[in-house]
Structure formats: C-alpha cells, structure tokens
Amino acid sequence: MSFDAIIIGGGHNGLTAAATLAKAGRKVLLLEAADTVGGGASTVEFAPGFRTSGLAHIINRLDPDVVKAIGLDTSGFEATAMPTAILSETSEAIVLRGAYGESIDGVGKEEAAAFAALRKKLLFHAGLLRRFMKKPPPELGNTSLKDLAAHAATGLKLLSQGREEARDVLRMLLMNVADISDEFLTDDRLKGLLAFDATLGLHLGPRSPTSLMGLYYRLTGEALGASGGQFLPRGGMGAVAQAFAEAATAAGATIRTASPVRRIIANRGLAGGVELEDGEILMASTILSAIHPRTTFHHLVDPADTQTGLSRAIGHIRSNGDVAKLNLALDKVPQFQGLSEADHKGRLVIARSMNHVETAFNPSKYGEYSPDPVMEITLPSLSDPKLADTGCTLSAMVQFAPYALREGWESGKPKFLEIVLDGLERHAPGLRASVEHAELLTPADIETRYRMPGGHWSHGEMQPDQLLFNRPVHAAAGYSTPLEGLYLASAGSHPGGGISGLPGLLSARHILAGGSR
C-alpha cells in the first residue's frame, strides 16, 4: 500500500496534521512509537483504580479553528469551565471566576478593579498576538502580499484602541511579569498567580526579561469560547487524544501504533520515506515529523543528509524542562484550607507571592530543585468520578525541577517528592496520610516516557529567540525544512506548545498549499 504522506508521531499535532491532510484527499499513514496515540495527551492508570492525565492536564488553548478544520468531536471530553484559586495557608483563597478572572473573590473592591483593568489590557494585547498564532510565521526578507495585508490588519486593530494603547503593546511586549504586576496590582497573592502563570513551563523567573510573554501566550489560548478559559477534560487528556485519533481515522488516515521509526530515508537533499525499527521500509513523497525537532534531525535524519549549520542550530535549541508532574492516589478528597468545597474542582495554585515564584526559580539556574516549589493542582476525579474507583486523584504541575539536576534525579527525586508532599500538606492538612500512591515524573522521566528531549512539553523554550521565524530554528521555521519533502509539525514549530493543534494544522495547510520554502 502506498501513501502520499507519512506522519511521524501520533501526538495531538501529528493527529491534527493527519486529519487535515486526509480530509484534503491525501493518503496518510501516521506512525506512533508508543502503544497508544496522544503522546503528552494521555490518560494513565498510575495506580490500581486511579486514572489521570499523564502529562498535560488542563484544556486552555484547544484551537477552535483546529476543532472545525478536522471535525473534532469535543462532546466526549468537554466539561464546564473551572475557576482558578490561589491557595493560602493563612487566609481565604482568592478565586478567579469566569475566563481568567472575569470576576474575582477574596480581594477588595479597589484591587478587583485594578485586576480587571490589567486583565482587559492583557487580553487585548493577547488578541493581537493571537493573529500571529493562527498563521505560519512571517518570513524575514520575503514578505508576501498576504503577509503584508495581515500585518496591516493587525496594525489597524492595534490602533483601534488609540495610539496610547498601541504604544503600550510595544512597551510591554518584552517586559517581565513582575514589573507589570507591580505597576497594576498591590495584592502579592495575585502577583504570585500572574508570575506562576507567566513562567509555567519556561526557564524564567518572573523578574527575568520577557517573562510577561508567557502570560500573553497563555491568554492567546481560548476554551469554551472565551480567551483565558479552561476546563478539565472528562476522561482525562487521553479522551482528547482519542477524539483527535477518531477525527483522523474518520478523515481516512491510517494510524499504526507501536511502530517506532528508526530513520528518515533521504537522497541528495530529498526525503522520501522512513525505515521502522523492525526494518520495514515505507515510502512517501511527504514526510511530516510531528515529534521533537532534535529527535527528527539528530536521530532520524542521517547526519550526511543534512547540513552542518542546520544540525548545529538544532543542537543549540534550548529544550530542558523545568516542570515535574505529580500524580497522587488519595484515599479521600483532600481539604485545602480557605477553599470552598465547590472550588476544589478548580485549578488550585500554590504561589504565595511574586518573590515566592522568583525564589523558587533561582535554584534551577544552578541545577537544583526548588526547596519551596510553586505548583498548579487539580483534582480530576472530583469532576469526573470515573477517574477514581475510590478516593480521589490529584494531578499537579510542580516547578522548578530542572532537567539537568546537578545531583542527579536518582537521589534527588525522593527528596524532591518529600518537599512537594510537605508543601501540599501545609495547604491541605492530612493529605500526606491519605496518599496511597505517589508518582513524580521529573523532566528526565517525562523525556523517557513521552520521548520529549529535555522533558520539555513545548519541544523547546518558548522565549523570543525561539519563536516565530526562529522556531525551532530559522532554517526550519515555517514547517518546511532544508531537507526537501520533510516537514515539521510538533510543538517545536510555530506557534508552539500546549494542546492547541495549531502547529499540526498550520503545517498540514502549508503542505496543501504547495509546501514551498
């Protein structure tokens, strides 16, 4: 059987690309190394009777264009919007309701108004940036009329709120989240939340230059029709992956799991097929790699088939993760202090202050984990009881936990787990005693389990030097690569990480449009 396109990697981006290409009539084969598709979007039974999302656990940027383009059936996993609560050991939690705090409980009237002003501004700016997320990265020195028209439209939109707002966009774009928070807010707990959200998944502290961009990126995402919206998928992230796979299959794509690719076959600068680990050879004129760009170019492509400058640049991609994933099996629902029972279904953030996030970041610069980490906690089985036969599951993103821990994760992991559990215990007394099973995935574990070099879920730091026409590297930005016939479509490509489907969609559309460089 012959195929027009072979897609390497069955993460949600690979599946999106498969569905998009298949819908356009291409004969598509998707190869996934693992036994199930989904990659970082999975549901795992980490302890008998306890299921949770394996890595990504919140839907906050699944793109409506992707949903529409591939006919993704969201009914199997869509759930109601959830609030964000900022936990405190000593006072009531602050709760942001609606999409990123349309209303806010737990702060004074004045502070609420200040937050509303900042929120409005950030969402407006994010709306402008979203325009860049929805199309291929602009090409330097090769601007098409279409690009120009799009930039002009963005410019007009920018000016629609007046020149002062336009200036503010340019002023704030590369600032750090700490300075902006200080400018607008007084409540340090709110600042802590913004700091956490801006830096989650990045090797930045809130006072690092450009850290505001992480918050902008978050707010370019939307869920349930609202920018900054979020929900916990029913059935865990595996249910989302399942829906993607069904869309791809329905479009006519063939999916083969447990089929790891050994190498990409190329000749004289032209890619034309793949060889599987078991020796099977499959040919196609289009090879789309929806896995980490470093794996693609340093492990699958023969070095003799690529150029030195490209492989050097690929080697320089900064892709060391800083986030650990914690899965807990609890014998009962934990009670977090100062939090209503209903709000336990929300996203619970432990970040006391701006300084808390900054000091949590500092050790990671020197290859050490935070002695007092910040984290984002969800209790998935509260909203979806099917995830736990008894008791309760807890899923948390904990940072900072540097990939290259100086002492090594073998000895570091048990110590870090103790620290994390202690942190949880302080906010939910009695939690430790109810732990039946604890699983901590360090970035090193995430790398191994999900085949993500550096354990970085964005397949490369989302910092300005690795965005747009420099994502993942300049020579391979915009989905085409210097190896003709080979295209990229993972989170390592524009617009980047998170469960959005956009890299897969944009890459597939680029191929359908002719795929030229």
Cα atoms in the Cβ-side hemisphere of radius 13 Å centred on 355: 2
Write down the least CB distance from residue 479 to another protein, Å: 17
Write down the least CB distance from residue 360 to another protein, Å: 31
Write down the least CB distance from residue 203 to another protein, Å: 24
Q: What is the dihedral of CA 13, 17, 19, 22, to 10 degrees?
A: -160
Q: Please state, in angstroms and rounded to a whole number, the distance separating the CA atoms of residues 266 and 486.
A: 9
User: Which residue's CB is nearer to another protein, number 237 or number 300?
Assistant: 300
Tokens of 408: 């090594």
Evaluated on CA atoms 417, 422, 427, 433, the torsion sign reads: positive
Q: Find out whether 28 and 252 touch, Cβ atoms under 8 Å.
A: yes
User: Which residue's CB is nearer to another protein, number 2 or number 308?
Assistant: 308
Q: Please state, in angstroms and rounded to a whole number, the distance separating the CA atoms of residues 427 and 87.
A: 7
Strand extents, DSSP E, 3-87: 5-8, 28-31, 43-47, 50-53, 84-86
User: Which residue's CB is nearer to another protein, number 259 or number 289?
Assistant: 289
Backbone angles phi, psi at 167, to 5 degrees: -60, -40
User: Which residue's CB is nearer to another protein, number 75 or number 308?
Assistant: 308
Quickly count helices (H) and strands (E) in the chain: 16, 20
User: Which residue's CB is nearer to another protein, number 217 or number 297?
Assistant: 297
Tokens of 38: 């989904």
User: Which residue's CB is nearer to another protein, number 7 or number 271?
Assistant: 271
Q: Please state, in angstroms and rounded to a whole number, the distance separating the CA atoms of residues 52 and 326.
A: 10
User: Which residue's CB is nearer to another protein, number 300 or number 462?
Assistant: 300
Write down the least CB distance from residue 275 to another protein, Å: 16
Backbone angles phi, psi at 392, to 5 degrees: -155, 145
Write down the least CB distance from residue 264 to another protein, Å: 12
- The three-point CA angle 480-463-493 to 5° equals 20
Tokens of 88: 């405190």
User: Which residue's CB is nearer to another protein, number 284 or number 483?
Assistant: 483
Residue 295 three-state SS: helix
**Site of tokens 């599946």:** 15
Residue 235 three-state SS: coil
Give which of 474, 463, 496 is closest to 174, Cα–Cα: 463
Write down the least CB distance from residue 471 to another protein, Å: 18
Q: Please state, in angstroms and rounded to a whole number, the distance separating the CA atoms of residues 131 and 154.
A: 7
Q: Please state, in angstroms and rounded to a whole number, the distance separating the CA atoms of residues 233 and 126.
A: 24
Given the rule CB under 8 A, which residues bind another protein?
266-269, 298, 302-312, 315, 475, 482, 484
Write down the least CB distance from residue 298 to another protein, Å: 7
User: Which residue's CB is nearer to another protein, number 305 or number 358?
Assistant: 305
Write down the least CB distance from residue 290 to another protein, Å: 22
> What are the helix (H) ranges across 61-140?
64-70, 109-133
Write down the least CB distance from residue 309 to another protein, Å: 4
User: Which residue's CB is nearer to another protein, number 26 or number 294?
Assistant: 294
